[in-house]
Amino acid sequence: MNREPVTDSAINQARGMVYQLLSSLFAKEVDHQLLHELTSEQAQGFWAQLASESAFKADVDTLVSVLSELKSDKALLELAADYCGLFLVGTKHSASPYASLYLEDAEGGSTDEPTLFGEQHQLMLQFLKQSQLQVQSSFPEPADHLAVILAYAAHLCNTADEAAQLEFIESYLNNWVGNFAAKVTQCDSGQFYSALTRLTQSWIQAEVTGLRAEQ
Amino acid sequence: MKWFINIWRTLNKPAKFLTLGTVSLSAFLMGIIFWGGFNTALEMTNTEEFCISCHSMESKPYQELQETVHWSNHSGVRATCPDCHVPHNWSRKIGRKIEASHDMWGWLLQTVNTSEKFEAKRLEMASREWKRFDRDNSLACKNCHNYDSMKWDSMSKLAQKQMKRAAELDQSCIDCHKGIAHKLPDMGTSRAPELIAQVGSGESAPQAEQTYFTALTKPLFYNDKTDVEAGTLNIATKVKVLESKGNRVKIGIDGWRKKIGAGRVIYYDFGLNILSAQLTKDAALEEGVIETFEEKEDPMTGLKWQRVEAQIWTDKDYLVTDLQPLWDYARDTYTTSCSVCHTQPDEAHFDANTWPGMFQGMIAFVNMDQDTQALVQKYLQEHSSTFDKSAH
Amino acid sequence: MNRRDFLKGLVSTSYVVLSGASVLAPLNALAASGAKSKDGWLTTGSHFGAFKMKRKNGVIDQVKPFDLDKYPTDMINGIKGLVYNPSRVRYPMVRLDFLLKGHKSDTTQRGDFRFVRVTWDKALHLLKDSLDEVQSKYGPSGLHAGQTGWRATGQLHSSTSHMQRAIGMHGNFVKKVGDYSTGAGQTILPYILGSTEVYAQGTSWPLILEESNTIILWSNDPYKNLQVGWNAETHESFAYLAQLKEKVKQGKIRVISIDPVVTKTQKYLGCEQLYVNPQTDVALMLGIAHEMVTKKLHDEKFIEGYSLGFDRFLPYLMGESDGVAKTPEWASEITGVSPEIIRDLAKVMTKGRTQMMMGWCIQRQQHGEQPYWMAAVLATMIGQIGLPGGGISYGHHYSSIGVPSSGAAAPGAFPRNLDEDQKPLFDSNDFKGASSTIPVARWIDAIMEPGKTIDANGSKVTYPDIKMMVFSGNNPWNHHQDRNKMKQAFQKLECVVTIDMNWTATCRFSDIVLPACTTFERNDIDVYGSYANRGILAMQKMVEPLFESLSDFEIFTRFAAVMGKEKEYTRGMTEKDWLIKLYDDCKAANAGKFDMPDFESFWKEGYVHFGEGKPWTRHAAFRDDPEINPLGTPSGLIEIFSRKIAQFGYDDCPGHPTWMEKLERSHGGPGSEKFPVWMQSCHPDKRLHSQMCESKEYRETYTVQGREPVYLSPVDAKKRGIKDGDIVRVFNERGQLLAGAVVSDSFPQGVIRIHEGAWYGPVGEDGSKEGGAEIGALCSYGDPNTLTQDIGTSKLAQACSAYTCLVEFEKYQGKVPEVSSFNGPVETQI
């Protein structure tokens, strides 16, 4: 264990890592390699630390327990089917992870489903461009996909001041992740992704609270 | 204007001693010798600059060439005018120069000095070049492109098939590759060029008592001389040559006709609407053209049919000995053209008398000239369930 | 815990971040400069019309009509929604149970299941493995890859050509003959008029406008149906319809629409309507014919010179053969048209020049061959076939038929068939005694009853034992009849593969689903103006393929690579090479006739215009000289009596046109006591079949409470306590659906309309989200084929009979389910 004094930048790096982890879990299905990394000894320590915060505990426990049960290809495929049903097809009966779907809901209160690659996608593209970033070509999703927004938040943790981080998280995550989490919980036929989404929601709430306090 | 009319008169006077060609030849030769020596002239007239010094050459063929692969390609080899249009062999070259001196008159008389005039003459001029290529067996092409050095493997299967067949016959390149260096002329009059490229234009001298098949739909005539048409002979029809005179042959067509109207239409067999020939009303009634035999009623229509043999004249071109290449071409065309919108039905899916209705009712989107349409329809009929009982 | 302490703790766990790459990457120079796809206007086209599109920030921003399209349809407003709608198939997917158990999977799950994403490589290998399994176990009769449909426009990426060439390189398969639109018509008419007629160019509108005194639109709604075309449509017909409207107004042409409903065309033209009871048109035609004979109004000379068999039809008409004279009074009983009107019609039709224009709907019913045959007989009796502005046509409502053809050659297409010397991997042609080609609409019967032999068009068809289906750009879960029967049949299939751009119901009932990009995400070439062939259109790629979708060319080139046949498949040419080849071949075919620039100039300009063709009269050559220009019938003449059909000996299609009662018929016919209402499921006004239904914003311009509209009469609505805008349950013994009521005077009592092409969205019988896969499920959106009958028209054509369909409806009182059609597969929680 590292005994040196913990610097702000190390803390930001750690926060960025959490965003990055969440991003990765929303970006694709859990495969063997990811499973291996998520259940490694190092990861166990990480999960335990995450679970030390009471707001996160229940969901982290669920994640860890589901992961520990993924012993066969079939189990992984079942989890992949959960992922697919939630995030890769349709919207109404599933929970596509695009900000535009939930923001519009929140604002207009309408049940209209906007088309894909709309305004939110363009907005995120602008952010990325300002930061000299783009979405990986191997990830052919609209830029308002949760994984992209979380990855961008990770990037901000390491490059922007806290005020800017707070502004982004408040305006582009915190305002819709709640609706999203509710939808995932409603549609998920397993437990993993509802727990993951709730954890994401709690994490973002904690972040917002924490960053506000530090202003 | 007067000088022009005089020249015109001179040209139109019947030549008593010298043909126009020799007049122009001598004038041309004298001109160039006077100009600075024969060889220099020959060299000079063999350059691209010389060719395009005439406006009509520069504005049309030369511009068109620049858009083709013969002008610009990965290997950087460029074909210039003389490479294709002047024979490389000396005596042929001189012959060509003499021929080309005609063009001086064209220039003088401004035969093709506008785009419209050029286009009007394009086919004539191109045909002259094609004939020359044919005579040389496309030697000018073969100076660069050699059948023996072709890499078959890098060609598509279809290209291989066509090229190998051509190589075996040492076929003239221009037979198939027309319009590759300049714009293809309006071929309104030349029919089914691809078909003819594949099946050939027939025997040069069809033999009496031999059977042949028509490679195109052909006009029929009363005798060996007249231009008065007596009807048409359908494509892919079997005929027997009875005698040969000049450019015409007298042929015999066996078949059946319906006893309705004037009985002008001869079909392939009893009860089958597979067209062999159509005669004009006069020809059908002309003594000695149609000999009639037994009659039968077709139970499918209630119409009376009669067996007939017709004897009539046609041009001797486009009579081929082998039917199979025609069917091969038809099958290719059918499978390619008729599958653009939907799966084409198997040939044997319908019978011979149902195919015309199906085929005619689907043809609106299909690009086929009249000859090819007639050929494909006949192909389908003769390969229908009427003949191929293996269907279903 | 203090936040900082908590975060410090996180740092101390020093968990190394995952090895997987981030979804973000440094901006690359190329993308930054926007060089990949510059913003601006581009040209493309679709069945709905040719148009221009503006690209902004890499997405489609605006759509406007093509300059030369003077009558664009508002359907082009739905184009953006086709591309960016949430129903897009985003990745290759496989039904989980199929992935786990392959051909032994639980097929009752189909339509209500769990999918997983797989890589393209995995998906294409699975496809190959499935084909291997079927070919080696069952041979070619186990595979049906011949159900094909309207695809999207474009000659290079034609989805059916690509699929059939690629699958054909693997092995042989069962194919179809005929189509759903015109199955009965295209089978009967070659025997009668010597061509399919339905797909033949018709007499040019300018001649009709000049020469016709009367135009009969028989069950025909051209103003609705001409909006879409087989190729990129440019709507020239509408200029002629506008002129016709003017002539109707001036009293110069009388147009009579014979139809149970007031059509869109009738409203536009301001013309007359003659109401007729549904499915009774043959009786009406017989009544008219009887009157013509009685009053000697028919053209005996024409009948004598140009037709065969009138003498054998006459005894039936006059009642000598069956004791029933087909008098106007007799017809009146059946058709609901008064004898006076029938008598008057006989007079009107035989006075002056009369052009009959038949629609396709009336041949999509039981005995659908008969109205087309009898109409041809009427036209023969009138004696104007082959005259400009007279005679009969069967396609003036379709794909610009009637607009003079330019005569130019259109571009060819990527080959559908194998090249001549190519052999499939599995080259067996052993169909085990079954037929290799089956009538298009009988495939579900084949799956249900393999080995059964039926009559079809003079021969016997034995149903193959189909184990696997491959569909591409085709949605039979729209166009086939009787959903619940389809569900049963699909449970018998081992493997279903669908390639499409959006989650159609067909995708949802599949095991392997592969994402194709839309027409607007690839380069292609097409003719515009359909039958008029007005020019060649550059279909320029608007945006890169979304998600992991690929062009049809790319999908099947990759599949060919899996078979080790990539070069054979593409002939060693790239997409660009093919595009140029198709253009250059077309240019060569038009050489000397139509000037076409080189490819680069064409692509830059966006189109080559051929101009207008010369007016032309259908059957004029035949009329001029029937001996030299015979029809394609067995006799070469119009066959009023067909000995050929008669000798087939079919009870449901005898030797001359005959009135036969239907299995189900409203207005007093069989079955109407229980289900009194006739449902027509005609081609939609705002879609091309099921294409464009998924375009959400546009769909909402016509839906009612999010459902497909059901049009019904005020009388029927009142009787059932239904108000405009209510949700209605429509049902019969075959199924049930929900639709949104549109109460309209245009519809008579006892007739409702639901346009076909409404996406199937099954939910539980009680309206709950689950249970969509079950037999008897409720369609939450309003697909009329939930209710239609899956029977052949007759032993002749064995074609689709969707119009022989009775239903009942009521105001829906149950729990209103969400529409489940447009959101991909719905997963049931177990």
B170: left (phi over 0), alpha (psi -120 to 50) or beta: left
Short-list C763, C741, C706, CA closest to C812: C741
C321 with C315: CB under 8 angstroms?
yes
Q: C: neighbours with 3+ CB pairs under 8 Å?
A: A, B
The DSSP letter of residue A173 is I
Q: Dihedral of CA C242/C247/C251/C255: which sign?
A: negative
- The topology (CATH level 3) of C677-821 is Barwin-like endoglucanases (2.40.40)
The pairs formed by B135-140 with CB atoms below 8 angstroms and a separation of 24 or more are B136/B87, B136/B92, B136/B172, B137/B170, B137/B172, B138/B172, B138/B173, B138/B174, B138/B175, B139/B87, B139/B88, B139/B89, B140/B83, B140/B84, B140/B85, B140/B86, B140/B87, B140/B88
> What distance lies between CA B391 and its chain's CA centroid?
36
| Structure confidence at residue B5 (pLDDT) | 43
Interface test with chain A among C4, C13, C23, C769, by most A beta carbons within 10 Å: C23
Choose among C608, C198, C116: nearest CA to C393: C198
Phi, psi of B312 (to 5 degrees): -160, 165
Q: Would you state the pLDDT for residue A1?
A: 40
Residue B327 to residue B195: CA distance in whole angstroms: 11
Interface list for C 29-48 with A (CB within 8 A): 31-32
Are residues C10 and A49, on separate chains, in Cβ contact within 8 Å?
A: yes
Question: Does the pLDDT value for residue B20 go beyond 60?
Answer: no
- Asked if the model's pLDDT at residue A55 lies above 80, the reply is yes
- Taking the C-alpha atoms of residue B124 and residue B118, their distance in angstroms, rounded to an integer, is 10
Q: What is the pLDDT of residues B249-306, one digit of tens each?
A: 999 999 999 998 889 999 999 999 999 999 998 998 888 899 999 999 999 999 999 9
- With CB atoms and an 8 Å threshold, state whether C93 touches A84: yes
Question: What is the rounded CA–CA span in Å between residue C756 and residue C725?
Answer: 20
Residues of C in contact with A24 (CB under 8 A): 18, 20, 22
Pairing relationship of beta strands C272-274 and C254-258 according to DSSP bridges: parallel
CA–CA distance, B146 with B167 (Å, rounded to integer): 9
Pairing of strands C677-680, C751-753: parallel
The amino acid at C734: R
Residues of C in contact with B151 (CB under 8 A): none
Q: What is the mean predicted confidence (pLDDT) over A35-47?
A: 90
Residue reference for tokens 């013509």: C292
Q: Do B216 and B191 meet the contact criterion of CB atoms below 8 Å apart?
A: yes
Q: What is the pLDDT of residue B17?
A: 47
Scanning C355-479, the segments in alpha helix (DSSP H) are 369-382, 443-448, 476-479
Digit-coded pLDDT (tens) for B106-125: 666 677 777 777 777 777 77
Structure tokens, C221: 């709604």
> What DSSP letter does each residue of C486-501 carry, written as one string?
HHHHHTT-SEEEEEES
3-state SS string for C61-85: EEEEECCCCCCCCHHHHHHHHHHCC
Closest in A45, A85, A136 to C21, CB measured: A136
Going by C-alpha positions, the residue among C772, C739, C744, C741 that lies closest to residue C758 is C739
End-to-end, the C-alpha distance of chain A in Å comes to 31
CATH code linked to domain C203-394+625-648: 3.40.228.10
What pLDDT is attached to residue B161?
63
Identify which of B156, B265, B341 has the shortest CB distance to residue C628.
B265
* pLDDT tens, position by position, A80-93: 999 999 999 876 67
A153 to chain C: closest CA residue:
C24
* pLDDT mean over A133-139: 93
Q: What span, in angstroms and rounded, lies between the C-alpha atoms of C316 and A69?
A: 79
pLDDT at B10 (0 to 100)? 42
Average pLDDT along chain B: 79
The pLDDT of residue C829: 47
C-alpha dihedral (C618, C623, C626, C631), degrees to nearest 10:
30
Asked if the C93-180+409-609 domain carries CATH number 3.40.50.740, the reply is yes
The four Cα atoms C95, C473, C365, C367 give a dihedral, to 10 degrees, of: -100
Interface check A118 vs C, CB under 8 A: yes
How far is the first Cα of chain B from the last one, in angstroms, to the nearest whole number? 78
C194 and chain B in contact, CB less than 8 A:
yes
Strands B218-221 and B229-233: antiparallel
DSSP reduced 3-state for B119: helix
Beta bridge partners, C274, equal: C258
At B85-109, the pLDDT tens digits run: 877 776 777 777 666 666 666 666 6
Q: Judge contact between C718 and C687, C-beta under 8 A.
A: no
Count Cα neighbours of B127 within 13 Å in the Cβ-side half-sphere: 9
The whole-angstrom distance between residue C645's C-alpha and the CA centroid of its chain comes to 28
Q: State how far residue C22 is from chain A, nearest Cα, in angstroms.
A: 7
The residues of chain C scoring below 70 in pLDDT are 1, 14-20, 29-37, 112, 827-830
Q: Which chains does chain B touch, 3 or more C-beta pairs < 8 A?
A: C
Q: Which of B339, B346, B368, B390 to mutate to test the interface with C (most CBs of C within 10 A)?
A: B339
Residues 300-329, chain C: which have Cβ within 8 Å of B?
Answer: 308
- Answer whether A105 touches C (CB < 8 Å): no
Average pLDDT (B362-379) is: 85
Q: Which of C513, C516, C576 is nearest to C552 (CA)?
A: C516
Cα-based distances in Å from C650 to B209, B301, B315, C773 = 49, 18, 50, 38
> What is the DSSP secondary-structure string of C159-210?
HHHHHHHHHHHHB--BEEES-TTTHHHHHHHHHHTSS--TTS----HHHHHH
Chain C: residue whose CA lies nearest to A91: C823
Overall average pLDDT of the A28-46 stretch: 91
Q: Long-range contacts: C63-67, Cβ < 8 Å, 24+?
A: C66/C232, C66/C234, C66/C528, C66/C537, C66/C607
Chain-centre distance for alpha carbon B171: 15
> For chain B, what percentages of helix, strand and coil (3-state, to nearest 5) are there?
45, 15, 40
For the cut 70, the answer to whether the pLDDT of residue B379 exceeds it is yes
Closest Cα in chain A, distance from residue C145 (Å): 26
Best B67, B303, B331, B340 member to test C by mutation, with max C CBs in 10 Å, is B340
Measure the CA–CA gap between B203 and C266, rounded to whole angstroms.
62
- List the single residue in A2, A140, A155 with the smallest CB-CB distance to C12: A2
User: What does the alpha-carbon distance between residue A13 and residue A27 come to, in Å, rounded to a whole number?
Assistant: 20
- Cβ pair C196, B358 in contact under 8 A: yes
What residues 158-187 of chain A have any CB closer than 8 A to a CB of chain C?
none
- Class at the top of the CATH hierarchy for domain B324-382: mainly alpha
CB contact under 8 A, C20 and A28: yes
Contact C174, C161 (CB under 8 A): no
pLDDT at A102: 87
Residue A98 Cα, gap to closest chain C Cα (Å)? 11
pLDDT at B129: 79
Q: Count H helices, E strands: chain C?
A: 29, 32
* Helix ranges, C643-710 (H): 643-648, 696-699
The residue of C3, C6, C15 whose CB has the most chain A CBs within 10 angstroms, and thus the best one to mutate to test that interface, is C15
Q: Which CATH class is domain A7-99+114-214?
A: mainly alpha
Residues above pLDDT 90, as percent of chain B = 33
